[in-house]
Structure 1
Amino acid sequence: MGTFKAFESLRTLKRLIRIYSPEIYTSVSTKHSITHPQVIGVKHFHTSPYSSKAYTLSQLESRSVVQLSGNDTLSFLQGLVTNDVNLLSVKCPSTQYCMILNVQVDIADVSDRYKIWCQYNSSISTNSLHQPLTFHDPRVPLHGCRFILKENSKDLEDKGNVNVASEEEYTAWRYRLGLPEGVLDLPPGNCLPLESNLAFMNGVNFQKGCYVGQELTARTFHTGVIRKRIVPVQLEFPAEIDCEAKITTKEKGRNAGKFRNAVGIYGLSLLRLAHIKDDLVVTAKNGQTISLKPSIPDWWPQGVI
């Protein structure tokens, strides 16, 4: 990952933000100051249509855990993220979903220390697994739970009645739900919170004070003018397609949006809502034209389209 420097004027934060990566599902925040967890490594479960097991466990090697500590932790984050992190200093909630609109800090790669897994099954009780850091995913109820575990921990796999799936299977399942995650789905510097459906996923607090990008986000929300959104799409057949490839209407060739990513035939695209019911096409890397069909997730509020 490398290290880059920024926020040089913010002298109150005299430490590194560490990203613990290669074996992770999601970033997790704890109550009060975000201190070094006793258990690290994340697992994510979900119900699988392909298995008779009670739930499915996938290890997310592409995800990261961000760990902060110190008296200024919450005040530092409050000015950067779209949600109200001061709520983490009270009993509930213990985890939040948010977007960082501008990152200017020192980052160190300590990926060899930790791993993350993801549990996606709404029927599994987090208390029954007795994990020190266990969280229901705050975005969408169907998206299950996250666990932070010790490196090399086998506790969840040893519970029995577990189907262990690859991260690719998890990603395909997530795409079918219409949930963006990571830099392929949400390119840094090239995506907006409301177009990424953060308001639908408990990721934006419109009552908090100022933060980086707050004015544009609040104004867009209150005017109600959001012309593009991340939506799930189903491809005509699997193909290699460039991220940000142009999507057009089949009949008149009008610009309808940009392709983001796919696993097999399931993917995500940033589409203009005015064209979401049109016949759409995208060009693969080999030059072949492929039809794609958008769908509206069940968890979206009524009246969006």
Structure 2
Amino acid sequence: MHLFKTIFHHNYHTLNNTSTGPLVSLLKSRSVIRFSGSDTIKFLQGLLTNDVKKFSELPSKTASYVPAPNLPPVYVPPMYAAFLNPQGRFLYDLFLYRKPLGEERLDGSVSDASGDLELFADVDSSVLDELLHTFKKYRLRSKVEIDNVAEDFSCWQLFGGNLAEKSDGEEETEAASVGRVPAVDHSAMSSSHGNDVGWQWFKDPRVDCLGLRGVFPSKETPPLVEPGNETNELNYLLWRIENGVAEGSTEIPKGSSFS
């Protein structure tokens, strides 16, 4: 036990070392699913603990995000939510993300050629099949498709160092170092790369100290990921434990009450 504590605190101080900068982990413990269809918002609004209707609204220009290369100018920050049973007890947690939007018009509307609304969610891989079955059980006649897209998308976490202490301006400067600056020509970027680009890092919607989180195409390397800063997911687990944040159905036992 003493040895474990020694290793634990050594790893924590390493992760919190501002001289080494933040680290990034591919979260293999999380899988990505997709909700699509005209009833997506209504369907999820009746099942989850957060206000999913926010995804159908035009996002605020002050939304907290970190730009990535080739990113469309309209962003919707992700949200953290829980799926509870009829008795109000915990079943699953999930992070919801909206597919990157198109260009914003002068009248404030958004040009989005993607058709029906699509929401992506990163969920606990250990209960993936069970979670999909549960969602589909409640679907009934709702016009919503629920797909496992774990082969196509992956979840990543950027954490540690002095990341939580940085201002939005400093984060944007760091993001610019991978190829995007505030003065980028969005229309040129979008036209040359299509409408499906734009997956980016967001501040973790739970607490700032956890850093940044995002869903990215599995065949692409996310921005800010370099050979020297990628680390085992175990280090992200240690970081969460030290900061007192549980995640997934293993750490948050099913049937738990939040009252």
Scaled by the length of structure 1, the TM-score of the pair is 0.42
Larger % of helix: which?
2
Q: Which has the larger radius of gyration?
A: 1
